Amino acid sequence: MDTLPPLRALQVFDTLGRCGGVVETARRLGVSPGAVSQQIKILEDSLGMRLLAKEGKRLRLTAAGARYHETCAAAFESLRVAGAEIERVRNRRSLSISALPSLLAKWLAPRIYEWQIAHPELDVYLDGTHSEPSPDGPQIDFRITYGERISHTGTTVELFRDSVVPVCSPRLPSAQRPLVRLDDILAYPLLSIDWLPKFSSPPSWREWFAANGIDCPDDIRGNRLVFSLSGLAIQAAIEGHGFVLAQTSMIIDDLTAGRLVLPFPVGVALPSPYYLTWQASTFDQPHCRAFHRWLLTRSREQQAINDRMLGAT
């Protein structure tokens, strides 16, 4: 059979099989008993098979009717569950954001309080992970990610492009080893960041020195301490363990608070920008559309700060 029976007839049959009587079926569906009987006849004619049989004044399902009703009941239950899920999503008052762990901790989380204060009725869920959201996993409204693997669809927008700059604790430089020239940094331990194989790594110390015309020794002092998370490397620098080439977006607050210093505002751009991605259905929620606008504004502000920090015009 190429076509399904009429949906209304299937709905009437599903209800009749559950309540066991034409009168009760009519009451539940808000129709007349005659309309119930008519829909059952339409269904039986469509299938070419009797689904109901009379037992005195009552109707019972035939053996074939009982098997068919099990399938119909399961299908309608699935539809009811799906409808309840749609209603839950439509009426939910929450915002779910997935982001790379260090960017979440050092950039988004300190700023999200501004959003939450302006939207006190919303629950905000922040998920720090390198894994991209799965279609079969929990619903995520927005994903903030990085790199060349992004699919440039209509639900993707570039946020900003970071650069790495050399920062350290204000306690680290000493009178015996002053910081006058860029290569003076070589006198201090250098902390490294390596994102491979998840993403292309940020520029290395060797690349940063080369970009600034400085010959770098084969054995860079202290360059054996390597972090896979930018946030951990930045924290090590805050604690005075050495210099780190940190993303500008992740150190603004630490520079402002005096936990880090930037002796040389000289940067090298990351290979790729950060991106915001979302599902098309995300914009069904007004608060998601508002968050999208808010985040793009914060991103433009961050790009302007990055440019000023490096003296860009």
Could you give the residue range(s) of every CATH 3.40.190.10 domain in the chain? 92-161+272-309, 163-269
> According to the 3-state scheme, what is the secondary structure of 122-184?
CEEEEEECCCCCCCCCCCCCEEEEECCCCCCCCCEEEEECCEEEEEECCCCCCCCCCCCCHHH
Give the CA angle between residues 133, 249, 243 to the nearest 5°.
Answer: 115
**pLDDT of amino acid 114:** 87
CATH T-level topology, domain 7-90: Arc Repressor Mutant, subunit A (1.10.10)
Q: What percent of the chain has pLDDT over 70?
A: 89
Separation CA 214–CA 266 (nearest Å): 13
pLDDT over 50 at 313, yes or no:
no
Question: Which pLDDT value is given to residue 1?
Answer: 46
User: Does residue 224 register a pLDDT over 90?
Assistant: no
| Superfamily (CATH H level) for 92-161+272-309 | Periplasmic binding protein-like II (3.40.190.10)
Check residue 137 and give its pLDDT.
59
Closest by alpha carbon to 201, among 225, 230, 221?
Answer: 230
How distant is the alpha carbon of residue 283 from its chain centre? 14
**Domain at 163-269, CATH from 3.40.50.720, 3.40.190.10, 3.40.1000.10, 3.10.110.10:** 3.40.190.10
The answer to whether residues 246 and 234 touch, using CB atoms and an 8 Å cutoff, is: yes
- Residues 183-212 pLDDT 10s: 999 989 999 998 877 777 888 998 999 999
SS3 16: helix
- Strands in 190-193's sheet, in edge-to-edge order, are 226-227, 190-193, 243-247, 163-167, 268-269
Tally of CA atoms within 13 A in the half-sphere of 182 that contains its CB = 18
CA of 245: how far to CAs of 73, 197, 260, in Å?
A: 62, 19, 12
Tens digits of residue pLDDT in 129-152: 888 877 665 678 999 999 866 665
Higher pLDDT, 216 or 112: 112
Q: How far is CA 119 from the centre of its chain?
A: 19
- Answer yes or no: is pLDDT of 97 > 60: yes
| pLDDT greater than 60 at residue 222 | no
Residue 82 reports pLDDT greater than 90: no
| Per-residue pLDDT, 23 | 87
The model carries a pTM of 0.67
Q: What is the pLDDT of residue 98?
A: 93
Q: What is the mean predicted confidence (pLDDT) over 249-253?
A: 94
pLDDT > 90? residue 248? yes
153 CB burial (10 A radius; 0-12, 13-18, 19+): exposed
pLDDT for 223 equals 54
Residue 255 confidence (pLDDT) above 50: yes
